[in-house]
């Protein structure tokens, strides 16, 4: 049993329950059209109109002429979309005469009935939905929680910890049909991670965050925010609570909040999958200096350009911030790993690459599929740190060593 008395619910609640069940079953394959008052025979559809659901709020399963007329009219409207299956959903047990009528509407497509027993079975698979919808008022829910908490608060062993933590998680899950929190404790702080229960959660129950950022002009945060706004946020970005005003989250009661915060941190999206890329380096006269195998991926986009991440092995990482127009100058950020203890051939490759970049020409990124990007590195070379000269010397020395004798497996620092 799900605890839902289908005879006592009203039509809006019936629609919400069925929508929530179907969202869990079909994920982003399913959608409930807006404006279902003139729904053209569709209350919920799957994979375009491959499967069409029609809701009928009949508190009992009686077989009346009026109901048969309305059901047939909805069925005829739905058939205009050429579905493979048509599903009738009602909150009562359909009586045999009505069941026979519905299933006999056509032998050309599959017809299915989901009445009270079927809805109960489906809700039993999603116990958080059953828990959420069976409480018709907040007072009912509070009474139920009070009964649940009539337990000894002492933890007498690991099993107690597991059971009481699981009970808390079930209570959180039952608080909203679309969203929940994963809860962890880190260094004495409770961390809540918002998790959608189904792919349509953001459409069914939108969440918005609004605030005013007051960032000092000359601060590192100001520079990082400017880059992120222009080319997209490719790395985590933090604002201290003192820089955030009028913070507000609107949405379901489970997540709604308004007030001060300790810190606001952006995390970038994972980015696109890595793809093999060739890096072609040329000098200021256009002379080809070298070709290097790398991997690249799209990370983010902003108001005026995009950010692409490129890596050569795990020794060199580059963030290319490319503008949308040629009149704007792009940016490149380099990060190099510690070469100590790395194989000689890797150090040689990286040193040669960095030496070639220092000659200040162009860097071509060949992504394959006739997709290329050219970036001028003359500005990079002009600002190259003095240690670059040491890198160039290392590359030259290693080249000589490689020609004259076998290359050792790795570099061991002298103690």
pLDDT, tens digit (0-9, with 9 covering 90-100), for 24-38: 899 889 988 876 655
Domains: count for the chain: 4
Report phi then psi at 25, rounded to 5.
Answer: -70, -45
Q: Final residue of a domain: which of 129, 149, 168?
A: 129
- Residue 169 placed within a domain: yes
- Residue 365 placed within a domain: yes
Does residue 314 sit in the same domain as residue 388?
Answer: yes
pLDDT at residue 111 in the model: 93
Average pLDDT, the chain: 81
Mean pLDDT in residue range 156-161? 74
Residue 51 has pLDDT above 90, yes or no: yes
pLDDT at residue 406 in the model: 60
Mean pLDDT in residue range 139-152? 55
Does residue 68 sit in the same domain as residue 171?
Answer: no
Does residue 362 sit in the same domain as residue 251?
Answer: no
Residue-wise pLDDT tens digits, 310-323:
888 888 888 888 78
Residue 103 binned pLDDT confidence (cut-offs 50, 70, 90): very high
Nearest CA among 271, 363, 279, 272 for reference residue 322: 363
pLDDT at residue 143 in the model: 54
pLDDT at residue 22 in the model: 92
Percent of the chain with pLDDT over 70: 81
- Residue 414 placed within a domain: no
Q: Extract the tokens encoding 186.
A: 């880190």
Residue 198 has pLDDT above 70, yes or no: yes
Does residue 243 sit in the same domain as residue 291?
Answer: no
pLDDT at residue 396 in the model: 67
- Residue 412 placed within a domain: no
Q: Classify each residue of 386-397 as buried b or exposed e, where b means 16 or more C-beta atoms within 10 Å of its C-beta.
A: eeeeebbebbee
pLDDT at residue 373 in the model: 75
Lowest-pLDDT choice from 92-101, 107-116, 365-374 = 365-374
Q: Final residue of a domain: which of 196, 217, 250?
A: 196
Report phi then psi at 90, rounded to 5.
Answer: -135, 150
Mean pLDDT in residue range 230-253? 90
The answer for residues whose C-beta is within 8 angstroms of residue 60's C-beta and 6 or more apart is: 92
CA 323/CA 231 separation, integer angstroms: 8
Mean pLDDT in residue range 187-209? 87
Mean pLDDT in residue range 247-274? 88
Q: Within its chain, how far is the Cα of 13 from the centroid?
A: 29
- Residue 409 placed within a domain: no
Range of the domain at 41: 11-129
Mean pLDDT in residue range 163-177? 82
Mean pLDDT in residue range 293-305? 88
Does residue 169 sit in the same domain as residue 243?
Answer: no
Residue 279 binned pLDDT confidence (cut-offs 50, 70, 90): confident
Q: Classify each residue of 275-291 as buried b or exposed e, where b means 16 or more C-beta atoms within 10 Å of its C-beta.
A: eebebbbbbeeeeebee
Does residue 57 sit in the same domain as residue 22?
Answer: yes
Residue 248 has pLDDT above 90, yes or no: yes
Q: Final residue of a domain: which of 145, 168, 196?
A: 196
Residue 247 has pLDDT above 90, yes or no: yes
pLDDT at residue 289 in the model: 85
Does residue 215 sit in the same domain as residue 329?
Answer: no
The answer to whether 277 and 295 have CB atoms below 8 angstroms apart is yes
Residue 342 has pLDDT above 60, yes or no: yes
Q: Extract the tokens encoding 322.
A: 């490319």
Higher per-residue pLDDT: 103 or 185: 103
Residue 212 binned pLDDT confidence (cut-offs 50, 70, 90): very high
- Residue 411 placed within a domain: no
Residue 153 has pLDDT above 80, yes or no: no
CATH of residue 90's domain is 3.40.1350.10
pLDDT at residue 112 in the model: 93
Does residue 125 sit in the same domain as residue 25?
Answer: yes
Residue 281 binned pLDDT confidence (cut-offs 50, 70, 90): confident
- Residue 234 placed within a domain: yes
Higher per-residue pLDDT: 412 or 296: 296
Which helix (H) or strand (E) element contains residue 296? strand 288-301
Residue 154 binned pLDDT confidence (cut-offs 50, 70, 90): low
Residue 275 has what DSSP assignment?
E
Does residue 138 sit in the same domain as residue 158?
Answer: yes
37: helix, strand or coil: helix
Does residue 252 sit in the same domain as residue 281?
Answer: no
Residue 370 has pLDDT above 80, yes or no: no
Does residue 321 sit in the same domain as residue 288?
Answer: yes
Higher per-residue pLDDT: 331 or 137: 331
- Residue 214 placed within a domain: yes
Does residue 82 sit in the same domain as residue 21?
Answer: yes
């Amino acid at each position: 049993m799900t605890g839902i008395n289908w005879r006592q619910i009203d039509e809006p609640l019936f629609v919400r329950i069925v929508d929530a069940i179907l969202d869990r079953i079909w994920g982003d394959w399913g959608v409930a059209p807006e404006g279902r008052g003139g729904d053209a025979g569709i209350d919920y559809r799957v994979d375009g109109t491959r499967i069409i659901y029609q809701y009928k709020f009949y508190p009992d399963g009686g077989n009346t002429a009026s109901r048969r007329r309305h059901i047939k009219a909805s069925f005829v409207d739905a058939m205009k979309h050429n579905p493979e299956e048509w599903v009738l959903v009602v909150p009562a047990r359909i009586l045999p005469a009505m069941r026979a009528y519905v299933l006999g509407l056509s032998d050309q497509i599959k017809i299915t009935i989901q009445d009270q027993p079927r809805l109960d079975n489906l809700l039993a698979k999603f116990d958080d939905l059953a828990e959420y919808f069976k409480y018709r008022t907040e007072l009912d829910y509070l009474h139920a929680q009070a009964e649940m908490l009539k337990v000894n608060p002492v933890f007498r062993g690991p099993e107690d910890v597991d059971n009481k933590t699981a009970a808390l998680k079930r209570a959180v899950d039952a608080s909203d049909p679309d969203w929940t929190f994963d809860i962890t404790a880190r260094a004495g702080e409770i961390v809540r991670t918002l998790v959608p229960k189904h792919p349509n959660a953001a459409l069914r129950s939108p969440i918005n965050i609004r605030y005013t950022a007051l960032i000092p002009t000359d601060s590192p945060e100001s520079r990082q925010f400017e880059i992120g706004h222009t080319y997209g946020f490719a790395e985590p970005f933090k604002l201290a609570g003192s820089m955030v005003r009028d913070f507000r989250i609107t949405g379901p009661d489970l997540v709604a909040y308004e007030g001060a915060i300790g810190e606001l941190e952006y995390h970038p999206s994972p980015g696109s999958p890595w793809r093999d890329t060739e890096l072609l380096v040329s000098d200021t006269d256009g002379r080809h200096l070298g070709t290097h195998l790398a991997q690249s991926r799209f990370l983010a986009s902003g108001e005026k350009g995009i950010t692409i991440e490129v890596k050569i092995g795990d020794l060199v990482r580059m963030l290319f911030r490319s503008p949308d127009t040629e009149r704007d100058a792009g940016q490149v950020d380099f990060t190099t790993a510690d070469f100590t203890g790395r194989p000689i051939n890797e150090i040689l490759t990286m040193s040669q690459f960095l030496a070639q970049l220092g000659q200040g020409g162009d860097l071509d990124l060949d992504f394959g599929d006739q997709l290329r990007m050219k970036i001028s590195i003359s500005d990079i070379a002009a600002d190259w740190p003095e240690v670059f000269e040491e890198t160039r010397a290392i590359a030259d020395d290693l080249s000589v060593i490689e020609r004259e004798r076998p290359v050792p497996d790795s570099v061991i620092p002298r103690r």
